[in-house]
Amino acid sequence: MKIEYIHMYGSELITKKRSNVLKKKLERVFPKVLIDVRKSISISLPDDYPEIYRTIDRTSTPYTNGFQNKSFSNNDSFQGKDKCLILLDGFELQRIYSDFISEDELELGHVHVIFKDSLISTYDEDTRRFHARTLICGTPSIISTPGIIEAPAKPRDYYFKMMLSDLLNLSNEEIKTKFNERFIDYGDPSVFCAALGFAVQAVFYFLTDGDPFCIENTCTLYNSHWQEEMIRAQVKTPKFCEYHETLLCFNYQN
Ligand SMILES: [Zn+2]
């Protein structure tokens, strides 16, 4: 599919200034696409959606993977300490947002990328659990900024050390320091590099007819399940594999 427009919607974290930086970087990847930056779409979720609108209890145990019957800890938000995150159902949110997109921009050729400072999950029928997501592809595509921090798993050793912190006589902060650069934490500017990678994946969803992910773990389109994979593919050395580089050239640079 030929993409002509990318519409980006900022958030509290992805400010207008940061959106413009992302726009410039996206323009380098997709040089023939018109990219514009828009304000966030303000929605208030209806009261009859209690299952998709839940304030997370910040006093609970840290996130491990899967949300069912679990709450979520966030002690250090982007904006300050002890700010609660909201957990939203990604597909419901996508459906609500799609109502705000004008009909002519629902046509093929338009890609909408919304940055959202809420934690987004989807329900997996097989595991019967909610799973945190960084990216929901479609119209619109939604990128969860806290999802970048919370959805891909941190190194296994990190969870072990956190569980044994009392025995090891280490504070949470001391443990985090030991895993420096092995996961993205709140306040880390690497989150913006990763956000760009997810925006690229959102566009490739349309370029590849719904199959944007790559099997090569060094490609920026790799579907990372671990923080270290995401950092390698999208932060430290963001580049396409040969196949996707060729695909991109074929679509936009000839
Ligand atoms: Zn690839």
pLDDT tens, residue by residue, 199-245: 999 999 999 999 999 999 999 999 999 999 999 999 999 999 999 99
Cα–ligand 1 centroid distance for 144 (angstroms): 22
For residue 83, pLDDT over 90 is answered with: no
- Residue 198 CA to ligand 1 center (angstroms) comes to 13
Q: Which residues contact 235 (CB under 8 A, 6 or more apart)?
A: 184, 190, 193, 194, 197
Gap from CA of 190 to ligand 1 centroid (Å): 21
Q: List, in sequence order, every residue forming a beta bridge with 112; answer none if it has no partner.
A: 7
Query: Ligand 1 centroid vs 221 CA: distance in angstroms?
Result: 6
Residues, Cβ < 5 Å to ion ligand 1:
214, 219, 221, 241, 244
- pLDDT, average across residues 46-70: 40
Spacing, Cα 67 to ligand 1 middle (Å): 30
- Give the pLDDT score at 110: 96
Residue 98 has pLDDT above 90, yes or no: yes
Question: How much distance in Å is there from the Cα of 247 to the middle of ligand 1?
Answer: 9
Structure tokens at 247: 């695909």
Residue 46: per-residue pLDDT: 63
> Ligand 1 center to residue 32 CA distance, Å?
20
pLDDT of 79: 39
Q: Which of 38-47, 103-112, 126-135 has the lowest mean pLDDT?
A: 38-47
How many A from CA of 239 to the centre of ligand 1? 8
In terms of phi and psi (left: phi > 0; alpha: psi -120 to 50; beta: otherwise), the region of 135 is beta
Residue 220 CA to ligand 1 centre (angstroms): 7
Domains, the chain: 5-253 (3.40.390.10)
pLDDT, residue 2, reads 86
What rounded mean pLDDT belongs to the chain? 84
Residue 123: φ, ψ to 5°: -90, 130
Centre of ligand 1 from the C-alpha of residue 236, in Å:
16
Residues above pLDDT 70, as percent of the chain = 82
d(CA 203, CA 81): 34
Residue 107: per-residue pLDDT? 87
CB 147 within 8 A of CB 119: yes
What pLDDT is attached to residue 49?
55
Distance 217 CA to ligand 1 centre (A): 8
**241 CA → ligand 1 middle, Å:** 4
Mean pLDDT computed over 140-147: 96
User: Ramachandran region of residue 72, left (φ > 0), alpha (ψ -120 to 50) or beta?
Assistant: beta
Distance 233 CA to ligand 1 centre (A): 10
Q: How far is the CA of 118 from the centre of ligand 1 (A)?
A: 28
